[in-house]
Amino acid sequence: MIQINQLSKKYKGAEDFSVKNLDLKVEEGEIYGLLGPNGAGKTTLISMLTSLLKPTSGSFTINGLNFKDNKNQLKQLIGIVPQEYALYPTLTAFENLQYFGSMYGIKGEILKKSIDGHLEIMGLSKFAHKKTATFSGGMKRRINLIAGILHQPKVLFLDEPTVGVDVQSKNVIIDHLKLLNKQGTTIVYTSHHLNEAEFFCTHVAIIDRGEIIVKGIPSELIKNQSGANNLEEVFLTKTGKALRDYA
Amino acid sequence: MHRLWASTYKEILLLIRDLGGIAILFIMPLLLLVVITLVQDSTFKTISDIKIPVLVVDNDKGEVSKNIIENLSNSNSFQMLQKSSEEEAKEAVFSGKYQLAIVIPKNLSASLQKKVDQNVEGILSKFGLEADTLAVAKETIPQKEVRLYFDPATQVSFKSSVKNGIDKMISKIETQSIYNAFQTELGEEDTEPIFETENFIAFKEILPTKNNEEIIPNSAQHNIPAWTLFAIFFIIVPLSINLVKEKNQGTFVRLRTQPVNYATVLGGKTIVYLIVCLIQFTLMLLVGIFLFPVMGLPGIDVSGKLPMLYMVALFSGLAAIGLGLLLGTIAKTQEQAAPFGSTLVVILAALGGVWVPVFAMPKIMQIISKISPMNWGLEAFYDVFLRNVGFVKILPEILLLLLFFLTTIVIAIIYNQRKNAV
């Protein structure tokens, strides 16, 4: 489904590569977690895969397509849930979703049903016609997620979809993502919540300083790392305990 | 088309949810128009109707000073207030209490009479009419000066018009004195003047006509096109901020990952803000037609001109929107977009001839003004409003405005493509 070959990104003026000669393969139907400390290159990698950033070198394909030759076709195929709330605060939840759904070419009754259905699952039906400016962080996160999945993407990219939300909202989001995955959506997501990733992801890759340190099925990674009882211990063993502050 | 409509609908919603913003968009230009027209109208009245208090120090107390004071009083522009000393008058004017003081020198009447008599006798003696006077030695008469004191805050244009007026009046008094001296020397009866002292050359202003009626331009007809255009171009500021906001709040990032091109995003904004421009224009016309006469200001006549006026407003609006979208595309923050946008509008207005007519600018500025879209819009408005021309005459300006819009949009799209190329 996703084939990444020697993908690199070096920002203008930066000394080091943010993503360095990265190879990765994500198969159809997988939930692939990209894990790593701050500044590891997770968001940079997702930004390149969703056409937001131009790679310095290397290439990738999604479903056999690349952005250079099949830009609109590929954009129709993927969904993105960015880390920040990409919503218009003065529009209602319904109006936001109606607009972003329309940009995928969905219209009329199909769009309305899709919005209503997702709002229902996410427990936001009664807030559909309230401005998103009045929403809590958890509610905004859920609307943010719906905006990226209205067109039933084949591949969904999520950048920290559960950051800063309460346990209840997190559960609703994860449950909905699992449902989407069951319906055939391949998911690539970044997270700092290693417990969440351990149980949610079918595969994970631990990235540090732009390179993949280890990748595989979470349970196998734990088994193969001597003394590790969970993914967090694998993570700390592989990436170390030093703070990662970047400016 | 569906995406364009969705973008347009979203822009409408964003706009109507910001009531304060709408109020500013529509009320401020109207306020600007009313204030400017009131101020300009009172400037015209300063010269015609309102009497400005003027201090006069009459050191002459003769025929000439009497004439000067009488003429100034009769001009309906000035209210003459006598002061006894030059120092006192100077102090009052330089401190800003009065705008003008006139100091008439001592013995002005006697000296002028002496000078005129001397000149007339000289001329007549050349014709052999007063041979005996030739023997008299020519006395040197020192030149006299009427001193004018202006408040330093007085505008140059006002100073010039007052100086010209007084200069003209003194010339007339001098001429009159010469005629009188000739009359006296030639020994004619005062009751039968031998000279006609009325101006021989008269001026007549020929105005453009419509249905055989002369169109007399007034301050409203000058102000409405100029300030409407100014308001239309101010759309640059909210429009560029709107685009920068999209970038900062993350919605633009989402749009970039969606199968929608940048032209569609800009298209939605163009449609909505063009409607805003046309509503602004309509409100300004309504103010000019209905509110101005109620306020005692001259109203405007738009009969038969509306289609062409709306055409100029539409294309001026497009040019302004193009510039706003380009600025919003390039600017990274609102702090960049807002001050730059508003300053740019003021510069374009100055270059376009909104404050100072283009013909009065230095040569280099006249050339630069030709590349200001505000100049094209203003000329087209004046063509329709004041010069009463047909559609063909405004076509070049309309095309320039359209070309400007297309150019700015194409640059914005290319810039965005290059910036976000993958």
Give the model confidence (pLDDT) of A40-53 as tens digits: 888 899 999 988 88
Interface contact flag, B18 A85, Cβ < 8 Å: no
Our CA-based measurement puts residue B421 at a distance from the nearest CA of chain A, in whole angstroms, of 7
Q: What pLDDT was estimated at residue B271?
A: 95
Q: What pLDDT was estimated at residue B240?
A: 92
pLDDT at B226 over 90: no
Q: The sheet that has A2-9: what strands, in order across it?
A: A19-26, A2-9, A57-62
Closest Cβ–Cβ partner in B6, B17, B250 for A85? B250
Closest Cβ–Cβ partner in B10, B14, B259 for A76? B259
Distance CA A46, CA B152 (A): 67
- Collect all residues with Cβ–Cβ distance below 8 Å to A119 and sequence separation of at least 6: A93, A94, A97, A125, A127, A128, A146
Least confident of B10-14, B62-66, B360-364: B360-364
Contact B393/A at CB under 8 A: no
Interface contact flag, B13 A68, Cβ < 8 Å: no
Q: What pLDDT was estimated at residue A242?
A: 65
Distance CA B29, CA B197 (A): 52
Closest Cβ–Cβ partner in B13, B249, B260 for A95? B13
Q: What pLDDT was estimated at residue B49?
A: 58
- Collect all residues with Cβ–Cβ distance below 8 Å to B192 and sequence separation of at least 6: none
Our CA-based measurement puts residue A216 at a distance from the nearest CA of chain B, in whole angstroms, of 28
Least confident of B40-44, B88-92, B125-129, B202-206: B40-44
Contact A143, A87 (CB under 8 A): yes
Q: Which residue of B has its CA nearest to A150?
A: B258
If one compares A147 and B123, the residue with the highest pLDDT of the two is: A147
- Collect all residues with Cβ–Cβ distance below 8 Å to B334 and sequence separation of at least 6: B241, B244, B245, B248
| Chain B interface, best mutation among A44, A46, A99, A111, by max B CB count within 10 A | A99
ipTM, two decimals, is: 0.86
Closest Cβ–Cβ partner in B250, B259, B421 for A82? B250
Q: What pLDDT was estimated at residue B131?
A: 47
Q: Which residue of A has its CA nearest to B248?
A: A86
The pair of three-digit structure tokens given for residue B78, joined into one six-digit string: 């000035």
In tens, the pLDDT along A66-101 reads 888 888 888 999 999 988 888 999 999 999 999 999
Interface contact flag, B18 A82, Cβ < 8 Å: no
Q: The sheet that has A155-159: what strands, in order across it?
A: A78-81, A155-159, A186-191, A31-35, A203-208, A211-216
